[in-house]
Structure 1
Amino acid sequence: MTPVTDLRKTVESFWAAAEARDWAAFAKTLADDVVYTLPQTRERIRGKETYVRFNREYPGDWHARIERIVAEPGQVVSWVRVTVGPEETHAVSFFTGDERGLISGVVDFWPEPYEPPAGREHLVERY
């Protein structure tokens, strides 16, 4: 396998383990010194144990479904649809990998939906 294939499979395993709440399998996808960054809240988590705990303790009955994954050497981007009860949102995650194909970095973006500005209704289709 190539490094692209390895990291892509690691990211697929990461999301499957998160959805299954299989924290042992989730931890196996991560480098010991993984760094998780949330730019919108300006939070950073360092280390496998802390990152696993962050996810394990995250409140609510959330579920994640992969919409799309794009992979290239050393990095993978995933678009995931997340539901928490009746609420639905999307996340875009940028993963970097180490030489073993483990996740060494994750940067998450959780865009909030908003209403578009007036004046472009004639150009767009709303869905």
Structure 2
Amino acid sequence: MNERKRMNLYWKYVAEQNADELLKFFHEKGVIRWHCTNEQFTVPEFIKANCEYPGKWNGAMERMEQNGDQIITVAHIWSSEVSFHVVSFFQVEQGKILQLDEYWGDDSEIPEWRRNMRLGMPIL
């Protein structure tokens, strides 16, 4: 299976909160870091945090770049109540995620101060 298909499956399982399938992607010594909240997880901790997060989720990978064993993805994860975009840096060793550094951002409205400046336009 090519890396794009694997990464699409990875994000599908993140959104589905499918612990069994997610576990298959990780190296046993994997480390996951969520930089925006200054947290570092082992693989079991990451699986628990992701899969026990409340609510039903949807998700889709929007972009992927690869340079050797480094993969970068941009994904959109959303529920009926909230929406996030996440930029993820995967370090892969022998087909397994050894290190994952993620930057999660809440999707939100343009701040009023910037709206008042009448700058830019919506991304289509």
Native 8 Å contact 2:64 2:73 kept in 1: yes
Which TM-score applies when normalising by structure 1?
A: 0.78
State the distance in 1 between where 2:54 and 2:81 align.
15
Which letter does structure 2 place at the counterpart of 1:34? G
**Matched residue SS, 2:36:** coil
Residue 124 of structure 1, CA deviation: 2.0
Give the aligned partner of residue 12 of structure 2: 16
Does residue 108 of structure 1 match 2:108? Answer: no
The one-letter code sitting in structure 2 at the alignment partner of 1:74 is D
Give distance in 1, aligned partners of 2:15 and 2:29.
23
Q: 10-19 or 68-77, which moves further after superposition? A: 10-19
Q: Structure 1: 5+ residue runs without aligned partners?
A: none
Identify which of 32, 36, 40 aligns with 2:36.
40
Determine if contact 2:16/2:56 at 8 Å carries over to the other structure: no
Structure 1: 4+ residue segments shifted above 6 A? none
Aligned-partner Cα distance in 1 for 2:57–2:115 = 33
Selected match of 2:114 from 108, 113, 117: 117
Q: Does 1:90 align with 2:90?
A: no
Matched length: 120
Cα RMSD (Å): 2.3
* Contact in 1 for aligned 2:27/2:98 (Cα 8 Å): yes
- The reply to whether residue 59 of structure 1 matches residue 45 of structure 2 is no
Relative contact order higher in (CA < 8 Å, ≥ 6 apart): 1
Unaligned runs of 5+ in 2: none
Asked if the contact 1:36–1:105 (Cα under 8 Å) also holds between the matched residues in 2, the reply is yes
